[in-house]
Structure 1
Amino acid sequence: MTMMSTFLIIDDDISVRKMLEQLIMKNNLGKVVEELGSGEHAAEEIMFYQPDIVLIDFLLPQKDGVEIIQSCRSLGYKGKFIMISQVDNDNMIAKAYENGIIFFIHKPINRIEAINVIKGVCQNLQLERSVAMIKDAVFHIDQGKQINPQDSWKDQITPVFTDIGIVGESGYKDLLKLIGEIIILKKKSKSSNYQLQDIYLQIAEEESLLHNTPVLARTIEQRIRRTILKGLQNIAALGNDDYYNNKFTEYSSVLFDFKQVKQEIRHINNPKEDRGKINVKKFVEGVVSKLNF
């Protein structure tokens, strides 16, 4: 039996709040338990209602979205945050990613993007619930048996990377190592904070020892970025051919910044346009969110 998700929407624009509520209701994605027009008491309201998903504006009166997220995490809130933003500043967006945001809906709101992002988060929640129920059932059947998934995440990740066409890229193995390290951290704590540069350095040191040749962290980062960029280009090409392509709708918002996917599509149609950009942390967090480990 599928459990409906609960939502709390925070945006100072009432038309945005009503649009999101309508999208949630019309697509049977769940129930909106509360709407707020400012950030003043947002953390307290989130902790009171304990919604599965919070749709939160970046810039809010009294208290901004990132501050609210930090407050909720420090209080132990485990739900999902989807950030709504018209901010283009790369540093501000990077700050949001550093604080646990992996899903963005850009303003002005594109209905297809919004539905795809919200559906993806709901599906991840349902998967997490199903896995928890299975683990609980197995535990009660035989408490002496231990579930040991080993590296099953690699089997899950292959279809994803096949879909976006990056299997076999030069940085593919480095990307797998990066994701593997992040999974290890998240097994210890779901809200674990990490710096990508630290993991790049760790991978570089391991490769240096393995091959007895110095490998720079910068080299690892460049290979990973090129691999993810190839995925962005492939997804944009799919969307350019068919905006409703299943792979495009599934991955364009979860693994990439949808605004950058659209920019890459513009580049495909006019090479004078700038190319789309990638955010490594959003990509790897998006991949990890789709895995059962």
Structure 2
Amino acid sequence: MMNTFLIIDDDVSVRKMLGYLIVKNNLGKVVEELGSGEHAPEEIIFYQPDIVLIDFLLPQKDGVEIIQSCRSLGYKGKFIMISQVDNDNMIAKAYESGVIFFIHKPINKIEAINVIKGVCQNLQLERSVAMIKDAVFHIEQEKQVNGQENWRQQITPIFTDIGIIAESGYEDLTKLIGEIISLKKKNKSSNYQLQDIYIQIAEEESLLHNTTIHARTIEQRIRRTILKALQNIAALGNDDYYNNKFVEYSSVLFDFKQVKQEIKHINNPKEDRGKINVKKFVEGIVSKLNF
């Protein structure tokens, strides 16, 4: 099934470049281009594109406001944010609105293609899962009873690929992802606060080991583990920009800009290290699991 795209950016050259990359790489079809956010929600609802590529800062309405409007109107498609914004609060606001995929300006063709391909693969996986569930619902029910931990088998090769299978925070990260999967099984669009899950894991660990473990400790172990994954992926990209694992994971699990920053640090320790976003990482992992 060919994916449909709607592109919103006030820079016509950006719209044309993204449209060209989509067509050139057989990623789908652009059904509409918009140069402002004035009527964007109405156009998105009308065209119902599979994927919307939307600029963060737009005339009339900004990208986050448009996304929130579309969600309130029932739009279920994917959003990819196009941004040259470095303000952490503004980026956090975008993540809170549901955006987990970013393409940074000035546009890097490799990053853009990798991000769009990743979203397309995510969509294809969702469709495949939906078709299977519709066709063999009774089998899926049996799997839910007998194989509820199947996602753990899927996560092992991913964690092996990114080099964190032996990290001390591996189990904490796995528990975090497990809790998020449980929430998504009940409601795919479920909103959650990571801090609430850290507290829950800490309480369970405290009972299990008969000692007091703080949520902050859980959070720190998880962040250190994800930072290690960032370092490993950046090292792969530094050696070979077209390494299969680097291509597969660099944009899905991390902000690609931060991966590039970590590569700069590898080559010059005086450069700042790359940063992580825990929610983007875990959502990226979850998007790769069939549960």
Q: TM-score range by the shorter chain?
A: over 0.9
Report the alpha carbon displacement of residue 256 of structure 1 after superposing the two structures with TM: 0.4
Residue 204 of structure 1: aligned partner? 202
Aligned amino acid, residue 90 of structure 2: M
Which of 24, 27, 37 is the equivalent residue of 2:25?
27
Instruction: Kindly report which structure 2 residues correspond to 1:68-147, keeping only aligned pairs within 5 A, or say none.
Output: 68-139=66-137, 146-147=142-143
**Whole-angstrom distance in 1 between the partners of 2:165 and 2:45:** 42
**Whole-angstrom distance in 2 between the partners of 1:60 and 1:91:** 18
Residue 64 of structure 2: aligned partner? 66
Report the alpha carbon displacement of residue 48 of structure 1 after superposing the two structures with TM: 0.9
Which of 249, 253, 256 is the equivalent residue of 1:255?
253
Residue 277 of structure 2: aligned partner? 279
Report the alpha carbon displacement of residue 73 of structure 1 after superposing the two structures with TM: 1.1
Report the alpha carbon displacement of residue 224 of structure 1 after superposing the two structures with TM: 0.2
**Whole-angstrom distance in 1 between the partners of 2:9 and 2:141:** 47
Equivalent pair of 2:255/2:276 in contact (CA under 8 Å): yes
Equivalent pair of 2:2/2:28 in contact (CA under 8 Å): yes
> Identity rate of aligned residues, in percent?
87
Gaps of at least 5 residues in structure 2 are none
**Whole-angstrom distance in 1 between the partners of 2:190 and 2:70:** 15
TM-score, normalised to structure 1, is: 0.96
Gaps of at least 5 residues in structure 1 are none
Report the alpha carbon displacement of residue 172 of structure 1 after superposing the two structures with TM: 0.6
* More displaced 10-residue stretch of structure 1: 40-49 or 16-25: 40-49
Structure 1 residues 169 and 37 mapped into 2: Cα distance closer, same or farther (>3 Å)?
same
- What SS is found at the alignment partner of 1:185? helix
Aligned amino acid, residue 184 of structure 1: S
**Whole-angstrom distance in 1 between the partners of 2:267 and 2:155:** 31
Which of 207, 213, 216 is the equivalent residue of 1:215?
213
**Whole-angstrom distance in 1 between the partners of 2:44 and 2:265:** 41
- What SS is found at the alignment partner of 1:191? coil
Report the alpha carbon displacement of residue 155 of structure 1 after superposing the two structures with TM: 1.2
Residue 229 of structure 2: aligned partner? 231
Q: Runs (4+) of structure 1 moved beyond 6 Å?
A: none
Residue 246 of structure 1: aligned partner? 244
Report the alpha carbon displacement of residue 174 of structure 1 after superposing the two structures with TM: 0.4
Residue 156 in 1 paired to residue 150 in 2? no
Report the alpha carbon displacement of residue 290 of structure 1 after superposing the two structures with TM: 1.2
**Whole-angstrom distance in 2 between the partners of 1:18 and 1:143:** 46
